[in-house]
Amino acid sequence: MTAVRREAFGRMPPEQGGGEVEKFVLESDSVKVEILSLGCIIATLETKDRNGKFSDVVLGFDTLEGYTRKHPFFGAVVGRVANRIAKGKFSVDGKEYQLFLNNGPNSLHGGARGFDKVLWSPQILPDGVCFFRLSPDGEEGYPGDLKVWVSYTLNGRQLSINYRAQTSKTTPISLTNHAYFNLAGQGSRDVYDHEISIEADSYLPVDDTKIPTGEVAAVQGTGFDLRQPVELGKHLQKFHLDGFDHNFCLQQVQSPHLVARVHHPPTGRTMEVHTTQPGIQFYTGNNLDGSLKGKGGITYTKHSALCLETQNWPDAVNKPHFPNVLLQPSEEYNHTTWLVFNTA
């Protein structure tokens, strides 16, 4: 059984529209997760180690104030389009659209005020919570009125995140959750002792602004071959990598399948990622620089967490050979990602 309760978490500052932010606590025997109505943010995720001790394994803040200031999308749902769109430009049905540029020359994670920075309308479910919002036509430069539902449900050791959307005009859409994980417990120094595997035969090389070059490259014989588990710190050293911030290309199947696994040998915690999405962005917190104080006043430094963001491939709207990212008015966008927590 999952217990679900709602609590007040704070009030948005007037310059950000005011409004009450609520926190929804989902709790099973083995997992406790707290989710905010601001940005559908996973603010806390506690799981057991092999001795039955709970620790919070996601980065974030203790108070609303942290989330209303600039931060690297901790725990948030990002959209309309996760990841980067080159030069913030794309064309649909012969019409060109220009988005806000918030990541060098590119648009990132929905723009200046993406889905992570707005209040969503919550509805409690028997085993979770569903958030809804209408993204109006023209918001952040995107076409069409877009209705979006994001549902979090907890079943034992499994947290499911389902994304649904319907549009009035053809629009690109790719939704993900941007949680930063450290299975040793948030605030631990780095993730070098984590073992990771990603079920992908290819990945997307990127240019110096992190936009895919268009090549779909084989992982075989490279530092991007994570098909067998590697210890992250040693692997980065071996291949002289500064970290990962790359899309791994998954099997193009609609059915859920295991795509990534993280294991932390000292605590025994493991996290499996299953999804229906065509890609997963593996990011090792390269831009965390110690300037942010998180929960418990802890400073978050480079490589102190990792993200496994299930999504469409970056810049797919400008790359016809990438999986289709356009949603038509006659269709429904519907993707689910499952996070399964165990101990080994």
**Residue list for the binding site for beta-D-galactose:** 83-84, 178-180, 245
22 catalytic? Reply is no
Of the residues 34, 139, 272, 309, which is catalytic?
309
Gap between the Cα atoms of 124 and 25, Å rounded? 10
Gap between the Cα atoms of 298 and 112, Å rounded? 27
Of the residues 109, 178, 235, 303, which is catalytic?
178
Which residues, in sequence order, are CB contacts of 319 under 8 Å at separation 6+? 212, 214, 313
Strands 257-264 and 269-275: antiparallel
Binding residues: 83-84, 178-180, 245
Gap between the Cα atoms of 196 and 130, Å rounded? 30
309 catalytic? Reply is yes
Which residues, in sequence order, are CB contacts of 275 under 8 Å at separation 6+? 250, 256, 257, 259, 310, 335, 336, 337, 338
The pair of three-digit structure tokens given for residue 257, joined into one six-digit string: 């399948």
| Cβ(57)–Cβ(48) below 8 Å | no
**Partners of 46 in the beta sheet?**
32, 56
Gap between the Cα atoms of 110 and 343, Å rounded? 35
> What are the phi and psi torsion angles at 238 (to 5°)?
-55, -40
Which residues are annotated as catalytic?
Answer: 178, 309
